Structure 1
Amino acid sequence: MSQRELLSLIRNFAAEKSEGERRVVSLRKQIEKLARELNESNAELENAKRCKEMAEQDLKGFEVQLMLVEASAQTLEARVSLIHDQISDVGSDLETLKSEAAALRDQFFHTMLHLNATIRKFQESVITCDMEALDSTASRDVPQMTVKENDAEVALRALENTLLEVISQTAKVDEEYQAEQQNYKNSSKLEATYSSLGEELQRRCMCPSCHVDNLESFSELLANLEK
């Protein structure tokens, strides 16, 4: 082999070696780059796993909240149904009390008129008493006058007792009427409170971003979970 061929072979070997070294450097850089990307991908994967776990925990929390909301909604529905029944009963009792109060008023006025008429009749009978006959036959008519006075006192006492009984019954019915009115007001307040709670529940089930009512979806999700 000549010297020229040997030099040419050496140069070729040196060029190939240099090219190989450059390729090795390039491959190392690619490996380092890929290693960084792999680390970044692993970090993103771990972050995604953590996000998934957090999302699953949040989902479980939402499911519990949904069950609580559903239970609260059912309780509120039962309460409002009971309140409606109570309002209906109170309304019926109120009408009955109104009728009884009107009847007692009429009875009271009728009794008062009858009492006034009886008092006037008694006064007239006393005024029109024959004073001359009383003077001439005083000793004979004294027992009769005593009997008349006693009868009049008994009648007045009976009328007073009747009047007091009517007044007592009227006061009792008026107290019952006032109590039923208060119950009716309390029932109206409870119904207003239920309506306010229903609006608040619907507001909380409203998506703040898309403004979609999720209450029905929540109910369906709970039904599926129960199955």
Structure 2
Amino acid sequence: MFELNAKIRKFQETFTCNFHKEFSLGTLAGKELKGVPLSTLEDMLDQVISQTSMMEEEYLAEQNIQKQTQKELIDCERNVSLTEVILKTTQALQDLTRQTSELEQMCTALGEELQRRCICPNCHLDNVEVLGGIL
């Protein structure tokens, strides 16, 4: 967009300078305006209008591209944000899964230890029923 504005300014300066060089009073001193045909001036004016229209169309096209790029940027930022949330949630879920697994292993180890302690070292009978009465 800045490039387009610079081109427009440069064009305007060039046209203004050329116009003043060719048609200023200082250079027309001793010359008559009758020497410049009206059709030439009309052609120059048509050319300026045509170039201005082309520049305006290019500007509008660039503006549409900029708007589309802005929308794409917003979508990408939204996707990055959602990805970060999903990543954090996944990590939290993995932490909970690991904790659950550790707790299951601990419960299994405690259950095995309880069963081992409930077996009589002499007769090797299972005394778990007695433990139920105590608890």
Stretches of structure 2 lacking an aligned partner (at least 5 in a row): 109-135
Secondary structure of 2:102's partner?
coil
| Structure with bigger gyration radius | 1
Partner of 1:217: none
- Measure the CA separation in 1 of the matches of 2:37 and 2:107: 101
1:184 paired with 2:80, answer yes
Matched AA of 1:178:
I
Matched AA of 2:15:
F
Q: Residues 155 and 140 of structure 1: is their aligned pair in 2 closer, same or farther, counting only changes over 3 Å?
A: same
- Measure the CA separation in 1 of the matches of 2:67 and 2:92: 37
Matched AA of 2:19:
V
The TM-score, its normalising length taken from structure 1, stands at 0.40
Aligned residues: 104
Q: Displacement, 1:165? A: 0.9
Aligned ranges 1:60-99 → 2 under 5 Å: none
Partner of 2:51: 155
List structure 1 runs of 4+ shifted beyond 4 angstroms.
208-212
Secondary structure of 2:37's partner?
helix
Partner of 2:8: 115
Secondary structure of 2:94's partner?
helix
Q: Residues 138 and 201 of structure 1: is their aligned pair in 2 closer, same or farther, counting only changes over 3 Å?
A: same
Partner of 1:71: none
Partner of 1:201: 97
Q: 1:142 aligns with which of 11, 17, 38?
A: 38
Partner of 2:61: 165
* Identity over aligned pairs, percent: 9
- The structure, 1 or 2, with the larger RCO (C-alpha pairs under 8 Å, 6+ apart) is 1
Structure 1 residues 155-180: Cα deviation after superposition (integer angstroms, max 9, x where no partner): 11111111111121122112112211
Provide the alpha-carbon RMSD of the alignment: 2.7
As a proportion of its length, which structure holds more helix? 1
Q: Displacement, 1:114? A: 2.1
Q: Displacement, 1:117? A: 0.8
Matched AA of 2:89:
T
- Measure the CA separation in 2 of the matches of 1:136 and 1:209: 107
Q: Displacement, 1:110? A: 3.2
User: Which range is displaced more, 124-133 or 168-177?
Assistant: 124-133
Q: Residues 206 and 158 of structure 1: is their aligned pair in 2 closer, same or farther, counting only changes over 3 Å?
A: same
- Measure the CA separation in 1 of the matches of 2:107 and 2:4: 68
Q: Displacement, 1:198? A: 1.2
Structure 1 residues 57-77: Cα deviation after superposition (integer angstroms, max 9, x where no partner): xxxxxxxxxxxxxxxxxxxxx
